[in-house]
Amino acid sequence: MSPDSIIVRSVTKRYGSNDHAVVALDRVDLSIPSGTVFGLLGPNGAGKTTLIKVLTGISDITSGDAEVAGFDVRRQSLQVRARIGWVAAEVILDDDFTAWENLWLQAKLQDLADWKGRAEQLLTYFSLADRKDDKVSHYSTGMRKKLEIALALLHQPSVIFMDEPTIGLDVATRRMLWDIVTGVHKEFGVTVLLTTHYIEEADALCDRIAIIDHGKIIATGTPSELKARVRADIVRLETGEELRAEQLAAIPGVQEARAQGVEWIVRVGSANDFLPRLFATIRTDQVRRISVDKPSLETVFLDLTGHGIGGDEPMRDIRRFYMQMRRARS
Ligand SMILES: Nc1ncnc2c1ncn2[C@@H]1O[C@H](COP(=O)(O)OP(=O)(O)OP(=O)(O)O)[C@@H](O)[C@H]1O
Ligand SMILES: [Mg+2]
């Protein structure tokens, strides 16, 4: 197999007719090395799901071409399908079925003859073996997610796609899922392409990341490579006396100063140069707390796109999650 599990060459995806066309992917180029966890990070409507849809053959490509697991997604879609697994953002389990019946259904859909041994192995791996005859409606959210991943792995794919695997999950379940994704990738040797709009998730989970916005890939790299692109330090400062933004902005090397609650967040070219200048401006006994942060992926995202990633409010997620649940059940 080629060293890259996924190769995308100048892929454009346009929805709709020419007058009202939406360009969901705009000449996307990507190469995703085998055996990595690769994250597609972008806000709502960026084109993340669309990219998964074209790579899995659910949507056709308008122009450009792509390969998955060594096969052309357009011309060799059957070979591609045999080698990929897909964990959708929406719920795909049948609630009235047991875990075992869901696996059976998946085997039928995939036309797998010899699946029972693999199914047992997956249930054991995900610690679901003793609950395999329980209806999925009695499962917790984390157990459902595990079962969904087990279904995606049943036919031994070499690449799995996970569209927003942790959307709508509480923090603890999200962390558990991070461990599962890392574990699955190591245990089964699969390449994982996941999408997320959680910056800390991309940072924690992914070997490499592509930042996508308005259908365009605007940066790719390891989380640390991406962070190294931002030439700035973030100084957090809390003072006893009132500070004005202009006072801070007047200090050479300050790129931005904004108040957040009781503290100031000051973005500077170099904290080493900035701190002596700051102490020449304000009285040191007025400093209650000061700390220096290296740029986060959030800073990178802001820098590259000119806007925040948005959509991190839990309400939005929960609402969307339940909407998806209802849709899936109807
Ligand atoms: N079937 C469709 N018909 C028309 N436009 C579509 C269709 N599917 C997606 N789009 C549009 O394509 C763009 C990209 O959508 P996509 O679902 O790929 O984004 P996304 O990054 O997955 O967003 P989210 O984070 O909300 O899931 C959006 O403008 C969307 O409205
Ligand atoms: Mg999506």
CA of 112 to the centre of ligand 2 (A): 29
pLDDT in tens, 6-61: 999 999 999 988 788 999 999 999 999 999 999 999 999 999 999 999 999 999 99
Can you give the pLDDT at residue 13? 97
In the chain, % of residues over pLDDT 70: 93
* Whole-angstrom distance, CA of residue 310 vs CA of residue 197: 8
Nearest to 225 by CA among 238, 235, 210: 210
SS3 108: helix
> Does the domain formed by 231-294 have CATH 3.30.70.920?
yes
Asked if residue 102 has pLDDT above 90, the reply is yes
User: Which residue spans within 42-88 are E strands per DSSP?
Assistant: 63-68, 71-72, 84-87
Can you give the pLDDT at residue 120? 97
| Ligand 1, atom 30, residue with closest C-alpha | 45
| Ligand 1, atom 8, residue with closest C-alpha | 50
Ligand 1: residue of 49, 212, 316 to mutate (most ligand atoms within 8 A of CB) is: 49
Q: Where along the chain do the CATH 3.40.50.300 domains lie?
A: 4-227
Can you give the pTM of this predicted structure? 0.82
Topology classification of domain 4-227: Rossmann fold (3.40.50)
| Mean pLDDT across 285-311 | 82
Neighbours of ion ligand 2 (CB under 5 A): 48-49
Answer yes or no: is the C-beta of 196 below 6 A from any ligand 1 atom.
no
Can you give the pLDDT at residue 305? 81
Torsion of CA 189, 55, 156, 94, to 10 degrees: 120
Ligand 1: residue of 12, 14, 22 to mutate (most ligand atoms within 8 A of CB) is: 22
Kind plus residue range of the DSSP H or E element containing 277: helix 271-281
Model confidence at 327, in pLDDT bands (50, 70, 90)? low
Answer yes or no: is the C-beta of 46 below 6 A from any ligand 1 atom.
yes
pLDDT in tens, 174-185: 999 999 999 999
Answer yes or no: is the C-beta of 49 below 6 A from any ligand 1 atom.
yes
| Mean pLDDT across 187-200 | 92
The tokens describing 234, both together, are 């973030």
Crossing angle of helices 116-125 and 99-110, rounded to 10°: 130
Asked if residue 258 has pLDDT above 80, the reply is yes
Return the sign of the alpha-carbon dihedral for residues 187, 147, 309, 17.
positive
* Whole-angstrom distance, CA of residue 247 vs CA of residue 282: 9
Beta strand 84-87 with 159-163 is: parallel
Can you give the pLDDT at residue 1? 44
| Distances, alpha carbon 273 to alpha carbons 224, 230, 276, 279, 308, in Å | 23, 17, 6, 11, 28
Q: Which ligand ends up closest to the CA of 162?
A: 2
Q: Where along the chain do the CATH 3.30.70.920 domains lie?
A: 231-294
Asked if residue 323 has pLDDT above 70, the reply is no
Asked if residue 169 has pLDDT above 90, the reply is no
Answer yes or no: is the C-beta of 322 below 6 A from any ligand 1 atom.
no
CA of 49 to the centre of ligand 1 (A): 7
Closest ligand 1 atom, residue 25 Cα: 14
Which strands make up the sheet holding 37-41, listed edge to edge? 84-87, 159-163, 191-196, 37-41, 208-213, 216-221
| Mean pLDDT across 95-117 | 94
